[in-house]
Amino acid sequence: MGMFNIGAELVERNLREGRGQRPAIWSGGKTLTYSELAVLVDRTGAAFLRAGVKPEQRVLMVMPDSPELAACYLAAMKIGAVAVPCNPLLRTADYAYFLEESRAALVVTAAPLVEKLPRHDKRMLVAGVDLEAFIAEGAEQRLEAAPTSRDEAAFWLWTSGSTGKPKAAVHSHQDWPHCCELYGRGILQLQPNDRCYSASKLFHAYGLGNALTFPLWVGASTILSPDRPTPEVVYRNIAEGRPTIFFGVPTLYAAMLQAKDEPDMKSLRLCVSAGEPLPGDLFSRWKSRFGTEILDGIGSTEVLHIYVSPRIGSAKPGSTGLPVDGYQVRVVDEQGKEVPRGETGDLIVRGPSTALFYWNRRDQSRAKMRGEWFFSGDKFRQTEDGEFHYVGRSDDMFKSAGEWISPADVESALISHSAVLECAVVAQKSADGLLRPRAHVVLVQGKQGSPELADELKQHVRAKCAGYMVPREIVFAGELPKTATGKIQRFLLRDADV
């Protein structure tokens, strides 16, 4: 079969091709070249070996985005261990779960996060305390990559947990090259002179591709920021870092459009959105203001990155576009039969980057990964021109007045109102036991909720949607519950007592 190690390949391909002195990572006002990144990865890998990490053991990483996190991720895979990046903004109970589930041999974290971790008996290295010194103890010689195979486990990624406790999708060494070639190079047309900036972080599949594997694969550079991606932080990083491609999520794009000042966005040639459907109105307002189209794609942790996307120059409001070359997509009914174009069904996908399985979740692995096909849990319809349109998560859809309601359709109508910043629509059981749509709405800065505005929003939806889709109730909220990757947790709103 031949050996292949993605932790080594992502850096060393650039050294082989003469890009050692080109910038790889921009972070905190400093630049790390590919040669410097190679040294950091090798020293980090040597430190992991001295800490007792053996092949196939898990290395748990709880760190903010930084060159150190990037090096830890690459180094763990280079020595034949399994990299397990985690969200650094969670609670102690979440980390206790990750530690138990992964049985990690080593935990790598940052000094400000140590107190959030539960007590444990694992070896731990702390950036800002002992990690740097431990790495510096290593010899200068080049670290040889472990002789891993393409199909061997390389890293875990936790599912978003939008519907419950996260599962670990187990990915192999061969998965990233497919995404890098088919989406990174094929759809984004990434070149060495590109500079990527992702608001989504490295612990998540979307951010990990955007901000690390895609740019490293083609010899481009990336901007890494440890800060929470507020509109102010993102605008500042774009102005200072001058990226050519920006990756965000719909809620962030909506918040960024509220900025009163005119930010400097001239360096951008392209924007990308994923995680939630991008309302057509947001697409149009962004393009009108900044002149840059947003490619709104659909992907998943299990398939590793985006597998349906518009093409540069032909993105349309409300459309997710066409399958990425190398992936096959079908819209099927409950019996697995393909539905006619225009009808709604379940989206299934077949592609080369799908995870091996969920760790410790045999039944869920069999239910979602059926042979070559992955059942996404997303409802889609395909239009006559072949493009795919997101309808909703399977568990978010509900029937009202005998008709299926897609929360995404109602939300898209609501967000086109100038007073609405973001919203989420869920099913509400009325006194007669029937389900009716209820909208949770976050207003733009300066707007106040009132019965009059609620009525105005209902009429706004009525003008755009069928009568049964009009929310029975409008709930004004300060914020919506979301996962760390920006997905709205509608199951929490369904259970909310309002």
Query: What pLDDT tens digit does each residue of the chain (498 aa) get?
Result: 579 999 999 999 999 999 999 999 999 999 999 999 999 999 999 999 999 999 999 999 999 999 999 999 999 999 999 999 999 988 898 999 999 999 999 999 999 999 999 999 999 999 989 999 888 886 666 899 999 999 999 999 998 654 457 899 999 999 999 999 999 999 999 999 999 999 999 999 999 999 999 999 999 999 999 999 999 999 999 999 999 999 999 889 988 998 878 899 999 999 999 988 898 989 999 999 999 999 999 999 999 999 999 999 999 999 999 999 999 999 999 899 999 999 989 999 999 999 999 999 999 999 999 899 999 989 899 999 999 998 877 778 787 766 778 888 899 999 999 999 999 999 887 766 678 899 999 999 889 999 999 999 999 999 988 888 899 999 999 999 987 777 788 888 876 655
Give the per-residue pLDDT at 162: 47
Give the per-residue pLDDT at 497: 56
Domains present along the chain, CATH in parentheses: 6-382 (3.40.50.12780), 398-494 (3.30.300.30)
Half-sphere exposure of 383 (CA within 13 A, CB side): 12
Q: What is the pTM of this model?
A: 0.87
Give the per-residue pLDDT at 275: 83
Give the per-residue pLDDT at 399: 74
